[in-house]
Amino acid sequence: MKAAESRRALLRWSGWFIAANIGLYCLLGLRYLLVYRFPADLAGYVYVPLALIGQMSLLAALPLGLLLLPLALLWPRRGLLQAAGALLAALGLSLLLLDTQVFAQNRFHLSLLTAALFEWSTWLFTALMFCIFVVFEWLLAGSLWRALARRPGARRGYWLTAGLACAWLAATGLHIWGDAVAHTPVTQFTRYLPLYYPVGAKRDLARLGWVDPDEVQRRRLAEQRGDPGEGQLRYPLRPLDCRPPQPPLNLVMILIDALRPDAIHSALTPRIAAFRDRNISFAQHYSGGNSSRMGFFSMFYSLPSTYWRAFYNLARPPVLIDQLQAAGYELLVYSAVGFGSPTLLDQTVFASLADLPGEGSSSNRDVTRQWLQRLRASPPARPFFAFLYYDPPIATVAGDGSESLPMDDRFRANPKAWETWRRYRLAIRRIDAEVGRVLDGLAARGLLDSTVVIIASDHGYEFDDNGLGYIGHASNFSRAQLQSTLLLHWPGRAAQRIEHRTSHYDLPPTLLRQLLGCRNDPADYGVGQDLFSGKEWNWIIAGSYSAHAIVQPDKIVVSYPGGFVEVLDAHYRPLGRSALDPALLRESLAAMSRFYR
């Protein structure tokens, strides 16, 4: 009986110790609000404290609960629990305090990459604060035990637990609503909290009929009448000075999901191969992401994927789209997979388009048909920008049969990879026919001499190239998943094959300078450079849905959620933490913070 009573008392003490630390975490978390510019909006004001309380509760309760509750049940020793609780709580408070300092200075959160650059004074300060927190937590633990011993029957903890749970649920519900209706005063706060990944259900609510996508788009455009990034972003760093050449050139971007440059073959993709051979091709071109979302972000914004959340939350389109609209271009956009999830182009790249197509199902043939119908409907009265996004049907195409395909000898070492490789080639061959129809339509209208045409892919696709079992994309940052297609027809420029390393980051500077006559230094709005400058990158930042990597020709430094870092060689084999280059880390972290206020 005494053992049961002891466990009950220790469990009760653990709960109140966790609750007290939630309060301490919230107090430290107030520092995030010192650098946050509150919107003039009731929902935004309500959401911020709820989200802060909910996230601080999780950060405090999860590690302490996972440690203290099992100890109280399995090894009920008061001294052990108080010592373990004090040490872990002190560590958590020290890390949170350090994170608030990092975020206040750089606008990103603590990770092993940032920690690798700390001076000894920072570590000394953190160690000193840890010691102070240990003493404080030990005194707090003893005071709580004595206070609870004096009032053994009090049950207020249930109400406190219910209140904290309600705060978390309310913040979650507000974010689901804010994300679904593009209410930026709510969504813009997300990146200010560490390890905060709120729930979204935009597509589900639209499917249920609870959200009208057209009304969401009207709301988004209304909110963009001011500066969508006011108070959070410095983007661009300086106003753009653009004087488009006359007569203006049209722009057509043909995007093919996951098209590897080495999959282009005259016997498999004859139209794309002919386009490559007659125009400008980039032999070592890399995406800024291994997923469509981050690939498009780097292609249109010339910014690392670490900025994606801020731009999405604010529904801030890229300056490339701003300048196309300012120059009077007609924007015509078509996609076989829509503009919502997973790319979320509707709230990033094309957030400023009033007539963006809805989420209805489409097909690759529909994309071509809709574009050709528009092209035939009336002669272009003004320059146009056309975006045609094709999705090769790799998962649904029939992969069996005895038909011999080009490059059949590749990837045979892995039967699953080879089967996917066969489906991939059959799917790409279908897209090649659609691309041919698009090019024929431009030629028939006599537009090729006045139109810049880009054929590109958002990212690469792996068929176990590195022998590690990876097939597909969005799973690692090796060359197979990052190397992308970029082919360019530019009136007046001769055909050539460019061998130096280029990236998606270089596309916006090229178009802004060469097509739209913008005189700014590309560093005013991105991290890329003109494709025709002759310069190659020594490192780029590549992103996925959660992780990101600093990619060098011979080394890859991957940063995962939670701060874990892995250093790999070009074939994705571990090199060890000692391979970290402090100078490179400083450069990359500067690039990831330069456009925040």
- CB neighbour class for 41 (10 Å; exposed up to 12, middle 13-18, buried from 19): middle
Give per-residue burial for 133-157: e unless 16+ CB within 10 Å, then b: bbeebbebbeebbeebeeeeeeeee
- 3-state DSSP helix/strand/coil % of the chain, to nearest 5: 50, 10, 35
Closest by CA to 478, choosing from 490, 488, 465, is 465
Q: Has residue 360 got a pLDDT over 60?
A: no
Tens digits of residue pLDDT in 316-331 = 999 999 999 999 999 9
Alpha-carbon distance of 52 to 34, in angstroms, equals 13
Average pLDDT over residues 77-92: 93
- How far is C-alpha 148 from the geometric centre of its chain's CA atoms? 47
Q: Has residue 141 got a pLDDT over 60?
A: yes
Tens digits of residue pLDDT in 18-41 = 999 999 999 999 999 998 888 888
Share of the chain above pLDDT 70, in %: 91
Query: Looking at this protein, which amino acid is placed at residue 230?
Result: E
Which of 31-40, 441-450, 569-578 comes out lowest in average pLDDT? Answer: 569-578
Q: Per the structure block, which two tokens stand in for 162?
A: 């219910």
pLDDT-based confidence at residue 202 (cuts at 50, 70, 90): low
The torsion angles phi and psi of 253, rounded to 5 degrees, stand at: -110, 115
Q: Has residue 280 got a pLDDT over 90?
A: yes
What mean pLDDT is reported for the chain? 89
Residue 352 half-sphere exposure toward CB, CA atoms < 13 A? 20
Alpha-carbon distance of 101 to 32, in angstroms, equals 9
The 3-class SS string of 110-163 reads: CCHHHHCCCCHHHHHHHHHHHHHHHHHHHHHHHHHHHHHHHCCCCCHHHHHHHH
Q: Which domains does the chain have, with CATH numbers?
A: 2-202 (no CATH), 248-529 (3.40.720.10)
For tokens 């997923």, name the residue. Answer: 291
Which of 63-77, 201-215, 312-326, 565-579 comes out lowest in average pLDDT? Answer: 201-215
Query: What is the per-residue pLDDT for 1?
Result: 38
The pTM assigned to this predicted structure is 0.86
Alpha-carbon distance of 561 to 467, in angstroms, equals 25
Query: What is the per-residue pLDDT for 379?
Result: 66
pLDDT-based confidence at residue 216 (cuts at 50, 70, 90): low
Query: What is the per-residue pLDDT for 450?
Result: 95
